[in-house]
């Protein structure tokens, strides 16, 4: 009969996990054998009834509180260095206009450029005859003052005229006779520097190899 004891204990534990009473019967037969059961003892046996309190099962622990993942730190924003404002371009210094020029026409219809109208008047030799009308017997000299017809060059044509004047000055110098070469070279250098200092400089010819300044 003792083999029933573990079964009874197992039944007691197998009940719902709440505190409740369980009745246990201790049965002793005529031979003194003891049996423990959850039913009343059979006739002819001595019965001892006991009431047992089963402990309530411990409540299940609450589920763990979910832990929020740590916030992902925002990537630091790139701080752009403030760029300084662009430097203002240097002021454009306009070069002055070149001096005025005159285009003149000689008696023989040839033309030339000049700055000075004082050089446009000159004396043309005249033939002297004697009282008898014979040029061979004429004595003395005579000339006729001639003034070339001149007009100013228009402003929008000044640079073109000065380039022409510069080319003419160089030609006169390079093909001059030895006694006039130095004077004509100085005139060419003067005209070239005058053009270079004016707004016509972009088209000015570079100084020739034989006229470089140290």
Residue-by-residue pLDDT tens, the chain, 214 positions = 444 444 444 444 444 445 677 888 888 888 878 788 788 888 888 888 888 777 666 677 777 787 778 888 777 777 677 788 888 888 877 889 999 999 999 988 999 999 999 888 888 887 766 565 656 655 567 778 889 999 999 999 999 999 999 999 999 999 999 999 999 999 999 999 999 999 998 755 455 555 544 3
Beta bridge partners of 50: 24
DSSP element (H, E) containing 113: strand 111-114
Identify whether 174 is part of a domain. Answer: yes
- Residues 50 and 115 occupy one common structural domain: no
Identify whether 113 is part of a domain. Answer: yes
> Angle 151-157-160 (CA atoms, 0-180°, nearest 5)?
115
- Residues 35 and 117 occupy one common structural domain: no
- Residues 111 and 30 occupy one common structural domain: no
pTM of model > 0.75: no
- Residues 47 and 106 occupy one common structural domain: no
- Residues 113 and 41 occupy one common structural domain: no
Identify whether 86 is part of a domain. Answer: no
Identify whether 18 is part of a domain. Answer: yes
- Residues 25 and 124 occupy one common structural domain: no
Number of domains in the chain: 2
Determine the structural domain holding residue 31 and report its residue range. Answer: 4-54
Identify whether 161 is part of a domain. Answer: yes
- 202 φ/ψ angles, rounded to the nearest 5 degrees: -60, -30
- 139 φ/ψ angles, rounded to the nearest 5 degrees: -120, 150
- Residues 106 and 199 occupy one common structural domain: yes
Yes or no: say if 19 and 55 are a contact pair by the CB < 8 Å rule.
yes
- Residues 205 and 123 occupy one common structural domain: yes
**Relative orientation angle of helices 158-174 and 178-196, to the nearest 10 degrees:** 160
Yes or no: say if 173 and 158 are a contact pair by the CB < 8 Å rule.
no
């Amino acid at each position: 009969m003792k083999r029933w004891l573990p079964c009874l204990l197992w039944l007691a534990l197998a009940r719902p996990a709440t505190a409740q009473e369980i009745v246990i019967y201790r049965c002793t037969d005529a031979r003194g054998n003891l049996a423990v059961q959850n039913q009343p003892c059979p006739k002819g046996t001595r019965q001892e009834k006991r009431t047992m309190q089963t402990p309530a099962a411990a409540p299940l622990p609450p589920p763990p509180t979910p832990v929020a993942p740590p916030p992902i730190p925002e990537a630091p924003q790139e701080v752009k260095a403030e760029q300084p404002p662009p430097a203002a371009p240097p002021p454009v210094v306009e070069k002055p206009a070149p001096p005025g020029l005159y285009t003149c026409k000689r008696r023989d219809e040839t033309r030339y450029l000049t700055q000075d109208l004082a050089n446009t008047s000159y004396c043309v030799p005249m033939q002297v005859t004697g009282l008898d009308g014979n040029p061979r017997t004429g004595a003395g000299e005579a000339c006729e003052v001639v003034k070339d017809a001149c007009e100013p060059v228009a402003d929008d044509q000044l640079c073109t005229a000065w380039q022409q004047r510069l080319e003419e000055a160089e030609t006169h110098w390079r093909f001059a006779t030895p006694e006039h070469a130095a004077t004509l070279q100085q005139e060419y250098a003067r005209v070239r520097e005058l053009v270079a200092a004016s707004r016509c400089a972009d088209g000015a010819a570079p100084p020739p190899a034989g006229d470089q300044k140290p």
